Structure 1
Amino acid sequence: MFSTVSILVEGNTVFYGSPDQALTHFNGLNYPCPTYSNPAEYFVSLVNTDFEGHADVPAFVQAYAGSDLCKQVVGAIESDRQAASGFTPEKVTVQGASAFTQWLVLMHRNTLNNIRNPGIYWVRLFMYIMLSFMVGTMYYHTNTNLTKQDLLPMLFYVQAFLVFMSVAVLPFFIEQRAVFVRERANQSLNVGSFVVANLLAALPGIALIAILSTLLVVLLADLNGFGYFFLNLFLSLVAAESLMCVIAAAVPHYIIGIALGAGLFGMFMLCEGFMVPRHAIPDYWIWAYWMAFHTYSFESFVFTHFNPIQNTDPTAKAILQRYGFEDVNVDRNMGILAAYTGLFQLIFVVILYKFHTGRR
Structure 2
Amino acid sequence: MGKESEDLEKNSFSEYTHLRNTSIKTLSWKDITVTVNDRHDGSPKEILSSISGIASGGDMVAIMGPSGSGKTTLLNVLAHREASLNANVQKSINLNGSETSLDAFRKTSAFVEQEDALIGSLTVYETLNFAARLSLPGGVSKAERMATITSLVGALGLTEQKNTLIGTPIRKGLSGGQKRRVSVAAHLITSPKILFLDEPTSGLDSTASFEVMKFVKGIAKDYNIIVIASIHQPSTATFELFDSLLLLSGGKTVYNGPIARMVDYFASLGHAIPLYTNPAEYVIQLVNTDFSYGQTSALEVLSELQSSWSASVQASEVQNAIATSQASQDGIPEHISDESSNRFLTPVTLIHRSFIKSYRDIVAYGIRIAMYLGLAIMMGTVWLRLEPTQANIGAFINAIFFGGAFMSFMAVAYIPAFLEDLQIFTRERANGLYGPTAFMVANFIIGIPYLFVIAVLFSIVAYWLSNFRSTGEGFWVWVIWLFLDLLAAESLVVLLSSLVPIFVVALAATAFANGLWMSVNGFMVQPEALNVFWRYVFHPIDYQAYVFRGMMVNEFGGRNYSCGSDCRCIYPSALEDQCLIDGNAVLHNYGYKTGDVGKYVGYMLVITLGYRLLGWLVLFLRKH
Same fold (TM > 0.5): yes
Distance in 1 (CA, whole Å) between partners of 2:543 and 2:329 is 68
Match of 2:610 in 1: 343
Q: Aligned match of 1:120 in 364, 375, 379? A: 364
Match of 2:385 in 1: 141
**Is the 2:387–2:467 contact (alpha carbons within 8 Å) kept by the matching residues of 1?**
no
Distance in 1 (CA, whole Å) between partners of 2:601 and 2:329 is 68
**Is the 1:102–1:190 contact (alpha carbons within 8 Å) kept by the matching residues of 2?**
no
Match of 2:531 in 1: 282
1:146-185 aligned at under 5 Å gives the runs 147-185=392-430
**Is the 1:148–1:315 contact (alpha carbons within 8 Å) kept by the matching residues of 2?**
no
**Is the 2:558–2:583 contact (alpha carbons within 8 Å) kept by the matching residues of 1?**
no
SS of corresponding position for 1:97: coil
1:194-343 aligned at under 5 Å gives the runs 194-224=439-469, 225-286=474-535, 287-310=537-560, 313-314=580-581, 316-327=583-594, 329-343=596-610
Q: String of CA shifts for 1:122-153, please: whole Å, max 9, x gaps.
A: 11111111111222233232668962221110
**Is the 1:155–1:298 contact (alpha carbons within 8 Å) kept by the matching residues of 2?**
yes
**Is the 1:228–1:304 contact (alpha carbons within 8 Å) kept by the matching residues of 2?**
yes
- Structure 1: 5+ residue runs without aligned partners? 1-80
User: How far off is 1:190 after superposition?
Assistant: 2.8
Greater Rg over alpha carbons, structure: 1
Q: String of CA shifts for 1:31-62, please: whole Å, max 9, x gaps.
A: xxxxxxxxxxxxxxxxxxxxxxxxxxxxxxxx
SS of corresponding position for 1:147: helix
Change (3 A) 1:186 1:143: same
Distance in 2 (CA, whole Å) between partners of 1:247 and 1:182 is 20
Match of 1:13 in 2: none
Distance in 2 (CA, whole Å) between partners of 1:269 and 1:88 is 61
Change (3 A) 1:87 1:260: closer
Aligned residues: 275
What is the identity, as a one-letter code, of the residue corresponding to 2:513? L
- Greater relative contact order structure (CA < 8 Å, 6+ sep): 1
User: How far off is 1:304 after superposition?
Assistant: 0.7
**Is the 2:347–2:442 contact (alpha carbons within 8 Å) kept by the matching residues of 1?**
yes
SS of corresponding position for 1:314: strand
Q: String of CA shifts for 1:220-252, please: whole Å, max 9, x gaps.
A: 223231121111100110111011101111014
Distance in 2 (CA, whole Å) between partners of 1:275 and 1:245 is 27
Match of 1:97 in 2: 341
User: How far off is 1:328 after superposition?
Assistant: 5.1
Change (3 A) 1:349 1:142: closer
Match of 1:6 in 2: none
**Is the 2:553–2:593 contact (alpha carbons within 8 Å) kept by the matching residues of 1?**
yes
Distance in 1 (CA, whole Å) between partners of 2:600 and 2:414 is 25
Distance in 2 (CA, whole Å) between partners of 1:254 and 1:115 is 23
Change (3 A) 1:155 1:186: same
Counting aligned pairs with the same residue, the percent is 27
Distance in 1 (CA, whole Å) between partners of 2:483 and 2:584 is 27
1:130 and 2:374 are equivalent in the alignment: yes
**Is the 2:484–2:604 contact (alpha carbons within 8 Å) kept by the matching residues of 1?**
yes
1:110 and 2:354 are equivalent in the alignment: yes
CA root-mean-square deviation: 2.3
What is the identity, as a one-letter code, of the residue corresponding to 1:316? G
Structure 1 runs of 4+ aligned residues shifted over 6 Å read 84-89
Q: String of CA shifts for 1:94-134, please: whole Å, max 9, x gaps.
A: 52222222112101111111112222211111111111122
**Is the 2:497–2:506 contact (alpha carbons within 8 Å) kept by the matching residues of 1?**
yes
**Is the 2:496–2:506 contact (alpha carbons within 8 Å) kept by the matching residues of 1?**
yes
1:63-82 aligned at under 5 Å gives the runs none
- Structure 2: 5+ residue runs without aligned partners? 1-323, 561-573
Distance in 1 (CA, whole Å) between partners of 2:451 and 2:611 is 17
User: How far off is 1:263 after superposition?
Assistant: 0.5
Distance in 2 (CA, whole Å) between partners of 1:148 and 1:213 is 22
Higher-helix-fraction structure: 1
What is the identity, as a one-letter code, of the residue corresponding to 2:478? F
Distance in 1 (CA, whole Å) between partners of 2:514 and 2:329 is 68
**Is the 1:163–1:237 contact (alpha carbons within 8 Å) kept by the matching residues of 2?**
yes
Distance in 2 (CA, whole Å) between partners of 1:278 and 1:334 is 18
Distance in 2 (CA, whole Å) between partners of 1:337 and 1:142 is 29
**Is the 2:559–2:582 contact (alpha carbons within 8 Å) kept by the matching residues of 1?**
no
Distance in 2 (CA, whole Å) between partners of 1:155 and 1:177 is 34
Distance in 2 (CA, whole Å) between partners of 1:161 and 1:305 is 18
**Is the 1:214–1:230 contact (alpha carbons within 8 Å) kept by the matching residues of 2?**
yes
User: How far off is 1:269 after superposition?
Assistant: 0.2
**Is the 2:557–2:594 contact (alpha carbons within 8 Å) kept by the matching residues of 1?**
no
